[in-house]
Structure 1
Amino acid sequence: NNDSNGSSNDTNNINLNLSPTANYATSSFTPTAMNMKNPSHQFRVGDLVKICNDIEKVKLLQRGHGEFTPLMIPTLGTIGRVVQVYSDNDLKIEVDGFSWTYNPAVVTKVSYDTTTIEDMDSLIKRLFETTQISTDPNQELVKLAANGESAKCDELLKRGDVDVNGVFSSHTALQAASQNGHVEIIKVLLKHNANVEIEDKDGDRAVHHAAFGDEPMVISLLAQAHADMNARNKRRQTPLHIAVNKGHIQVVRKLLDLGCHSSLQDCEGDTPMHDAISKKRDDILKLLLEFNADITLTNNNGFNALHHAALRGNAR
């Protein structure tokens, strides 16, 4: 989650790469060799890293790892800071006051002693440049929500010239706050009648973002606001599909406890059980079975759960 550090540019530290759907786009490319050369376990929060400047290489390696957006082009070849290491080893990296999800294979660690004065001067200059206040109130609201500034959000919404469902970088304030786990922000937004069912460009709703961000408490809040726990995005993935793919077992349990369907199929015919088998998550598989997941459903390749397990070499 993005945490405010009290600096003057906190309201600019928004994670603009809020795309649960994009993170599971299928690809035949498997950058195993790249990952071995640049293992993600070498990265820690706070590390300085340099992002690859080869746009085609970055586009390729970002598949299934946050994807690539043209808004990321200015970050190529620049230095950023790791602010989060996800459970699947992808990295959230802050560059120019914004945060993006990167495949660890597209960045290299930069030691402080090898960082040039010019690099650091450029980095500091860009950070200062991001302190300017946006003149777009909707943009400001999304940024504040992404950073957990609940009091400022409430104050902004009381002005009356801000749309609580306004969009910035294809996302609403509720979607940004849901992925980043800002419970107090969500309460403020819901108090101002935020729409829990608005979809982003990928069809993901706030509940999808909460599942992606590993935020079971947010899932509960959204359920209380009558959000659809079985909502589907453009790839027909439910929040449960997202949570299983990311390996967020507490979110999986919360969704199941709230009564979500355990066996809905995505655009490829895969159920959450197919996904759990693919990820070799026996703990999640067991949990799905406890909630009566259907093992007979076949995906578009004609494989049910048993076929899929055999295909993946999962004897258990």
Structure 2
Amino acid sequence: MDPDPQAGVQVGMRVVRGVDWKWGQQDGGEGGVGTVVELGRHGSPSTPDRTVVVQWDQGTRTNYRAGYQGAHDLLLYDNAQIGVRHPNIICDCCKKHGLRGMRWKCRVCFDYDLCTQCYMHNKHDLAHAFERYETAHSRPVTLSPRQGLPRIPLRGIFQGAKVVRGPDWEWGSQDGKPAELQRRVSADGQPFQHGDKVKCLLDTDVLREMQEGHGGWNPRMAEFIGQTGTVHRITDRGDVRVQFNHETRWTFHPGALTKHNSFWVGDVVRVIDDLDAAKRLQAGHGEWTDDMAPALGRVGKVVKVFGDGNLRVAVGGQQWTFSPSCLVAYRPEEDANLDVAERARENKSSLSVALDKLRAQKGDPEHAGRLVVEVVLGNVARALDLLQRHPEQVDTKNQGRTALQVAAYLGQVELVRLLLQARAGADLPDEEGNTALHYAALGNQPEAARVLLSAGCGADALNSSRSTALHVAVQRGFLEVVRVLCERGCDVNLPDAHADTPLHSAISAGAGASSIVEVLTEVPGISVTATNSQGFTLLHHASLKGHALAVRKILARARQLVDAKKEDGFTALHLAALNNHREVAQILIREGRCDVNVRNRKLQSPLHLAVQQAHVGLVPLLVDAGCSVNAEDEEGDTALHVALQRHQMLPLVADGAGGDPGPLQLLSRLQASGLPGGAELTAGAAVACFLALEGADVSYANHRGRSPLDLVAEGRLLKALQGCAQRFRVRAQDEEVHQVPGGHQQEAAPRRLG
């Protein structure tokens, strides 16, 4: 390995002895691997600036020079552990996408890369020189060929190694030794705190024995071995209560758990929504400011991993530094009811990479895969010549694709016809199961698709993700290809691997795919009652995504779906309220005549969810439609409790941005009642005052015995809330039912729908 003394050192990097090493066998001998665990600090007598502390895998720990006195004791072996990733690079040996750690690029071969493991295991030609990229944006370091260089076997902790407990052991008797040897690291002797990510990695028999006297044993606990959970609390006895999903918690012996705080750059995470916990956990980890409050409960993406373990997270258009304990891994299957806007970018298409490599090939013109190259280059005459001289090569693959697949993708219709006449396999799949028709859909080539279908290719062939060509065309937003496939009888109801039909996919694509929704819903045999693997009917899915056209089309065919519940009790209106889809909510209420007071499994109404997410503009719509302002959820909280618990510090945005008149309507109704303007109100205060004006009980106690008035943190808001409640009582008296002649009752006019 060639030295690169200028490389920045970070905690977590894996290192070996370097060019200035003079410390004998401290590393366990040449080839020993260690981990940087501490960086030197200016003024420190033991670990000065430009030194680092290394924990060697063989057991010793001490500090070394990393530029101190001009010397470099260490060489970088691997930096994957600190989150380095090359998202658009594929290892051409093991085929891993998105290389982690260093990238090794051949200087001889065109576009040929290796990961660290393959480079170190002598993959590819040893006579070729390489360049090393330490990060995705660093300058390359030129390396000499590996041929003839001495090889030093590495010794350390790798997959399959046998290990013993180390100097930082804090996991009780997991290794079978007495728990008394456990090293306790926190102030109260417990190695865990609220929010830690943990796993149980023990065998069932061992865990059963450890649980005696520490929460006990339940056979169902075995189902959660190996799963990641979140520490909910530490019991008085020091045992750890772990939350695995929204309804499952188990109490564990602390020695049965392993901490699991591994986030990478690019990972999608959710910030915890507990304000008090976030403030506590941020101490010493980036600290807390009130400007961070809007990030609570939001989904974001890790953009940097610091050496001390803290994370820089992009959320809501801003970036904040968080303790890893304030974050949980975002798993769509656990929170499928939220439509997450921040998605990780897709890697560069492997097909685009393959085509680039094909265009660059300058090999033998008689090579068996040359036909594919000529098709990529559009050379009809040369392709015809090859077919006439070597008809047996018509289905030969190059870069994993046949000539027909490439021609279909590129829309080379003349070549498609030529290859079909030469008996090319129209349904021959590539490594991912894609046929030529899939490739025509991928390339947005409706005429190529028409030619293939006319030749009798399989219209509903499934690839490895169980997607048809119609799924692919819909997901890409290719309207004309969708039209051709539907006209030629492709099955519009086939589910993919997630049980999504093409209409599910069209709805996911948003308003830009409205024309595709129109085409699909006009197919006579379309089924709008299909349910995907997450339990979403098409109406649920359209409400989740805010697709108003799809909601109307589905209701026109199957209005009985309007109050259908998912397994968690969510209806279409719950999903629209949770995701701030005002137009969809209006359609469900007015045209679908849905039940506005329906509850999910947590006994939340759509109003609870709209308030929970601070969707201020939806609150008047739901209340005017008849949502009960005093309905309580499983915690006994009304919507008024929720507004005051979560959003007292959240700034109120009421400028009508995005064409949503709801926030302005709420404010105008508050002002009409004599309350201050929006500049003096937070989101929580505005919603709370509105709910109180509409009859929410300010003295209603939840299951913890706390009323909304108990939750108010500021005197002016307390006074305003009490004033709103009084105004409602006065108005209610004025609107009392009056007896009219004949014994009939005249009632107050019903609420408008907003």
Pairwise TM-score range, normalised by the shorter structure? 0.5 to 0.7
Cα drift, residue 133 of structure 1: 3.1
Structure 1 pair 96–202 and aligned structure 2 pair: CA distance change class (3 A)? closer
CA contact (8 A) 2:437 2:469 kept: yes
Deviation string 1:74-97 (CA, Å, 9 cap, x unpaired) is 49879xxxxxxxxx9998899999
Are 2:502 and 1:298 aligned? Answer: no
Alignment TM-score, normalising by the size of structure 1: 0.62
Q: Is it true that 1:247 corresponds to 2:471 in the alignment?
A: no
The aligned residue for residue 172 of structure 1 is 402
1:191–1:147 CA distance, 2 compared to 1 (3 A)? same
Instruction: Report deviation, 1:163.
Output: 1.1
User: Is the 2:361–2:373 contact (alpha carbons within 8 Å) kept by the matching residues of 1?
Assistant: no
The counterpart of 1:286, out of the listed 512, 518, 542, is 518
- Kept after mapping to 2: 8 A contact 1:153/1:188: no
Higher helix share: 1
- CA deviation after TM superposition for structure 1 residue 166, in Å: 0.6
Listed one character per residue, the Cα deviations across residues 196-245 of structure 1 (whole Å, up to 9, x for unaligned) are 01000000000000001000100111012100111111111000000000
Cα distance change on mapping 1:153 and 1:236 into 2, 3 Å: same
Q: Measure the CA separation in 2 of the matches of 1:94 and 1:299.
A: 28
CA distance in 2, matches of 1:259, 1:95: 30
**Is residue 2:112 matched to residue 1:58?**
no
- The residue correspondences of 1:1-316 to structure 2 (distance < 5 A) are 56-59=85-88, 68=97, 73-74=112-113, 99=356, 130=360, 132-134=362-364, 137-160=367-390, 162-280=392-510, 281-292=513-524, 293-316=526-549
Instruction: Name the CA distance, whole Å, in 2 between partners of 1:96 and 1:199.
Output: 19
CA distance in 1, matches of 2:435, 2:352: 26
Whole-angstrom distance in 2 between the partners of 1:56 and 1:209: 29
CA distance in 2, matches of 1:138, 1:69: 31
Q: Alpha carbons of 1:265 and 1:188: their partners in 2 closer, same or farther (altered >3 Å)?
A: same
Write the distance in 1 (CA, Å) between the matches of 2:88 and 2:541: 30
Q: State the match for 1:121 in structure 2.
A: none
- Give a deviation string over 1:150-199, Cα, whole Å, max 9, x none: 11111011113751011111110000111011011111111211010100
User: Whole-Å Cα distance in 1 between the matches of residues 534 and 521 of structure 2?
Assistant: 22
- Which has the larger strand fraction? 2
Q: Deviations over 1:91-122 (max 9, x none)?
A: 8899999527xxxxxxxxxxxxxxxxxxxxxx
CA distance in 1, matches of 2:531, 2:391: 50
Q: Compared with structure 1, are the counterparts of its residues 200 and 258 closer, same or farther at alpha carbon in structure 2 (3 Å cutoff)?
A: same
What runs of 5+ residues in structure 2 fail to find an aligned partner? 1-82, 91-95, 100-109, 115-132, 138-344, 550-754
CA contact (8 A) 2:460 2:491 kept: yes
The whole-number CA distance in structure 1 between the counterparts of 2:377 and 2:528 is 41
How many Å apart are 1:314 and its aligned residue? 2.3
Count of aligned residue pairs for this structure pair: 221
AA aligned to 1:311 is L
Is the CA contact (8 Å cut-off) linking 1:93 and 1:99 kept in structure 2?
A: no
Partner SS, residue 58 of structure 1: strand
* SS of equivalent residue, structure 2 residue 473: helix
Residues 98/285 of structure 1: CA separation in 2 closer, same or farther (3 Å cut): closer
CA, structure 1 residues 131+301, in 2 after alignment: closer, same or farther (shift >3 Å)?
A: closer
Change (3 A) 1:302 1:262: same
Determine helix, strand or coil for the equivalent of 1:294.
coil
Provide the secondary structure at the position in 2 that maps to 1:57.
Answer: strand
2:507–2:542: 8 Å Cα contact kept in structure 1? yes
Distance 1:97 1:291 in 2: 36
Q: Which amino acid aligns with 1:132?
A: K
- 1:243 partner letter: A
How far apart, in 2, do the equivalents of 1:299 and 1:95 lie? 31
Q: Residue 249 of structure 1: CA displacement?
A: 0.2
C-alpha distance in structure 2 between counterparts of 1:169 and 1:136, whole Å: 16
RCO comparison, higher one (Cα < 8 Å, 6+): 1
Mapped partners of 2:480, 2:448: distance in 1: 12
Q: Which amino acid aligns with 1:247?
A: G
Secondary structure of the residue aligned to 1:226 is coil
Structure whose alpha-carbon radius of gyration is higher: 2
- Contact 1:138-1:162 within 8 A present in 2 as well: no
Per-residue CA deviations over 1:44-102 (Å, capped at 9, x if unaligned) read xxxxxxxxxx98231599xxxxx948996549879xxxxxxxxx9998899999527xx
> Counterpart amino acid of 1:271?
T
Q: 1:55 to 1:220 in 2, by over 3 A?
A: farther
- Alpha-carbon shift at residue 273 of structure 1 (Å): 0.4
Q: CA RMSD in A?
A: 3.5
What SS does the aligned partner of 2:546 have? Answer: coil
Contact 2:369–2:397 at 8 Å: present in 1 too?
Answer: yes
1:96–1:204 Cα change, 3 Å: closer
Mapped to 2, the partners of 1:228 and 1:169 lie a distance apart of: 23
1:312 and 1:305 map into 2 onto residues whose CA distance is 11
Aligned AA (1:285):
V
TM-score by length of 2: 0.27
Q: What's the CA shift string for 1:261-311, capped at 9, x where partnerless?
A: 111100100000000000012111111000132110000011111010111
The one-letter code sitting in structure 2 at the alignment partner of 1:99 is: D
- Where 2:86 maps in the other structure, the secondary structure is helix
Following superposition, the deviation at residue 315 of structure 1 comes to 3.0
Contact 1:144 1:152 in 2 (8 A): yes
Residue aligned with 2:369, SS: helix
List runs of 5+ in structure 1 lacking aligned partners: 1-53, 62-66, 79-87, 101-126
CA displacement, residues 124-157 of structure 1 (integer Å, 9 cap, x when unaligned) = xxx9xx5633366332101111222111111011
Mapped to 2, the partners of 1:306 and 1:96 lie a distance apart of: 38
The one-letter amino acid of 1:276's match is: A
The one-letter amino acid of 2:86's match is: K
The one-letter amino acid of 1:57's match is: H
> Does the CA-based 8 Å contact 1:137-1:162 persist in structure 2?
no
Distance 1:69 1:217, change over 3 A: farther
